[in-house]
Amino acid sequence: MREPGTGPKISRVMRFVTHYWLLSPRLFAALVALRIASTLVDVSVPLAAGWLVDAVASGAPGDPGPAIRALVIFIALGALFQISRQCVTFLLNRLSARAITTIGRDAFAKVQRFSADWHANSFAGATVRKITRGMTSFDTFTDTLAFGLVPAFIVVTGVTAVFSWRWPLLGLITGLSIFAFLAVVVLLAVYWIRPANVEAREWDSKMSGVLADSITGNPVVKSFAAEEREDGLFRNVAKGWEWRAIRSWDRSAVSGLVQAVLIVILQIGMLGTGIWLWSQGQASPGDIASLIATQFLITGYLRDIAQHVRALQRTINDMDDVLDFRDADLQVADRPGAAGLVVRQGAIAFDHVTFRYKGAHDALYRDFSLQIPAGQRVGLVGQSGAGKSTFVKLVQRLYDLDAGRILIDGQEIAQVTQTSLREAVGLVPQDPVLFHRSIAENIAYGKPGASMDEIVAAAKLAHVDEFVRGLPKGYDTLVGERGVKLSGGERQRVAIARVILAGSPILILDEATSSLDSVSETYIREAMDRLAQGRTTIVIAHRLSTVQRLDRILVFENGRIVEDGTHGQLIGRDGGVYRRLVETQSGAFLVDAAE
Ligand code: ADP
């Protein structure tokens, strides 16, 4: 459960929201001024009501002049309040919309630049929710202040000040009762209602979690005929939510009752004192009328205070995640003044590299050195967990090293901009992610602004053209959800076309582990061969049939290279690791090798 207190967070949130309010300083200043003015007008309406009553009480029926003047002032003030309040709304709409889009933009820009590791360890859905919740919370926070707490504060202090000036006793009683009211209501909201609310919300999320998990896993549920088990699971969570929801709603209701009682006490205090002042000849009938109207005004503002306090607390907590994004350092950052990487040939060198995953006990790579000459096609093989994927992640600088350097054409990759490095390294991942955009757009991702001719040319080289021609909308077909669902092999071909178009001088191909249909496999091999020509290429090989055509094979074991050579050299080693891998993995391949 979260802490009910929000103390230390408030100043951080205030700095954050102030920054975004001040994006439009003139608009903000106008808003504050207008809000104060409009609230002061609201406070003066009861006074005008008092003048009106006095004008009627002391005037003669034949001379309605003073009463009409007081009436005009009364109506004009009421109208002025409504107009100025609407103007506050218009200004706030503009201020909030601008701030919210900027908050979203800033958070999105930051999160996109977080490391691959961060993204691997965060749920995309949760990150999206945190950003959108941060945006809406800013809006609620600003509205709560502008329409709730700030005017309430102005009204309460304004009224207490006016009373204290004319009738010190009334001022004292009003001030004290409002203070007592606020103390009780705020304490209840923060320490009694909120913890129950937070717990009920957590169980609400648990319920959605169980629903989402069971519905997504429906094929498994079906295959084990486990519908009733899942019903039971949901029933239990729903029960857990039920009593917490009742408790949280009940506490709000009790707090409402306490507020009502306190408001009655406030009314008795104010009006009782007013009548006593009148009996002492210190207050006119008009004063009593304005006292009654003022009391309605105050209780109107106070009634929603508890709700505002809770809203403020909730938004402060909800903005916390976005603030964490904002304050987080980039895990992998460009050095100040980093230059662009210039790739002439594409030679890669690992120079005494030591690397340990955060949280891992031991270093995966220790004092690891390796040279890959320009244009060489290298296959990485080894058991799962041997360190092949990490090797290519380090080449892309998805992680920083603990010691040593990685060089491309003699330039240390940690010293150049990440943009220039990633542009130079084309990646065809194992299970490529395609955007929910058209196939043409997905291919053009490798080269923004590519012409349709270039896209089709790349698609032809990657054997994408074959299956795209068969689709109803061709290259305009949307991928995913409402579009076509591509097979693993087809997606990998699109990813190859993307890299062909990008024209990166260094290539990384992570072969698909799942078996591809033989047509796809042949196509992919052909496409890769074309792509690899003249480029330094690193293939994470899961199929030993691929690596035999490469220039060099590196056999990994626990972050070390245990064998290094061509297929011919390694297969000839009696008792060698590569030979053993080949023997265990593929009988068919052995026949090939023996030929
Ligand atoms: P391979 O590609 O050869 O299967 P990896 O490079 O993926 O091997 O993994 C090498 C080792 O590093 C494994 O023991 C794996 O568990 C560990 N590892 C991989 N990624 C991470 C990570 N993000 N955090 C911690 N350990 C990791």
Tens of pLDDT, residue by residue over 90-126, are: 999 999 999 999 999 999 999 999 988 888 877 788 8
* Ligand 1: nearest atom to the Cα of 540: 2
Q: Is the dihedral of CA 305, 311, 316, 322 positive or negative?
A: negative
CATH superfamily of 348-594: P-loop containing nucleotide triphosphate hydrolases (3.40.50.300)
Residue intervals of the chain classified under CATH 3.40.50.300 are 348-594
List, for residues 325-351, the tens digit of each pLDDT value: 888 888 888 889 888 999 888 999 999
Q: CA–CA separation, 381 vs 567, rounded Å?
A: 11
Ligand 1 centroid – CA 28 distance (Å):
51
pLDDT for 8: 54
Q: CA–CA separation, 156 vs 170, rounded Å?
A: 13
pLDDT for 4: 42
Nearest CA residue ID for atom 27, ligand 1: 357
Instruction: Using pLDDT thresholds of 50, 70 and 90, give the confidence band for residue 141.
Output: very high
pLDDT for 590: 36
Q: What is the mean pLDDT of residues 399-407?
A: 93
- CA-based R_g, the chain, Å: 36
Instruction: Using pLDDT thresholds of 50, 70 and 90, give the confidence band for residue 409.
Output: very high
Range of lowest pLDDT (72-76, 429-433, 588-592): 588-592
pLDDT for 166: 86
List, for residues 517-571, the tens digit of each pLDDT value: 667 777 777 777 777 778 899 999 877 777 888 899 999 998 899 999 888 888 8
Residue 507, SS3 per DSSP: strand
Ligand 1 centroid – CA 340 distance (Å):
29
Residue intervals of the chain classified under CATH 1.20.1560.10 are 11-327
| Cβ(539)–Cβ(547) below 8 Å | yes
In one-letter notation, the amino acid at residue 191 is Y
H/E stretch holding 353 reads strand 348-355
In one-letter notation, the amino acid at residue 512 is A
Q: For residue 499, which phi and psi values (nearest 5 degrees)?
A: -75, -35
| Substitution candidate for ligand 1 out of 389, 396, 539, 555 with most atoms within 8 A of CB | 389
List, for residues 184-221, the tens digit of each pLDDT value: 988 998 889 888 988 988 898 889 888 988 888 898 99
* Ligand 1: nearest atom to the Cα of 383: 3
Q: How far is CA 341 from CA 112, 136, 303, 330, 399, in A?
A: 21, 41, 63, 20, 17
DSSP secondary structure, 332-350, as one string: S-PPTTPBPP--SS--EEE
Instruction: Using pLDDT thresholds of 50, 70 and 90, give the confidence band for residue 588.
Output: very low
Strands (E), 358-439: 365-372, 377-381, 403-408, 411-412, 425-428
List, for residues 13-30, the tens digit of each pLDDT value: 899 999 999 999 999 999
pLDDT for 332: 86
Ligand 1 centroid – CA 387 distance (Å):
6
506-510 and 536-540 beta bridge pairing? parallel
| Cβ(294)–Cβ(271) below 8 Å | no
Q: What is the mean pLDDT of residues 70-79?
A: 94
- Give the residues surrounding ligand 1 with Cβ less than 6 Å away: 117, 120, 357, 359-360, 364, 382, 384-390
Residue 138, SS3 per DSSP: helix
pLDDT for 32: 94
* Ligand 1: nearest atom to the Cα of 121: 23
| Substitution candidate for ligand 1 out of 390, 391, 400, 402 with most atoms within 8 A of CB | 390
pLDDT for 514: 58
List, for residues 272-318, the tens digit of each pLDDT value: 999 999 999 998 999 999 899 999 989 888 888 878 888 888 888 88
pLDDT for 370: 92
| Substitution candidate for ligand 1 out of 357, 400, 542 with most atoms within 8 A of CB | 357
Residue 387, SS3 per DSSP: coil
- Beta-carbon contacts of 100 under 8 Å, excluding residues fewer than 6 positions away, are 135, 136, 138, 139
Structural class in CATH, domain 11-327: mainly alpha
Q: How far is CA 251 from CA 178, 207, 238, 553, in A?
A: 22, 22, 20, 69
List, for residues 243-282, the tens digit of each pLDDT value: 999 999 999 999 989 999 999 999 999 999 999 999 999 9
pLDDT at 3 exceeding the cut of 50:
no
Q: How many residues does the chain have?
A: 595
- Beta-carbon contacts of 164 under 8 Å, excluding residues fewer than 6 positions away, are 170, 171, 172, 175
Q: CA–CA separation, 190 vs 316, rounded Å?
A: 13
Q: For residue 530, which phi and psi values (nearest 5 degrees)?
A: -60, -45
Instruction: Using pLDDT thresholds of 50, 70 and 90, give the confidence band for residue 513.
Output: low
Ligand 1 centroid – CA 356 distance (Å):
10
pLDDT at 595 exceeding the cut of 80:
no
Alpha helices, DSSP H, located in 113-226 = 116-120, 124-143, 150-166, 168-188, 194-216, 218-223
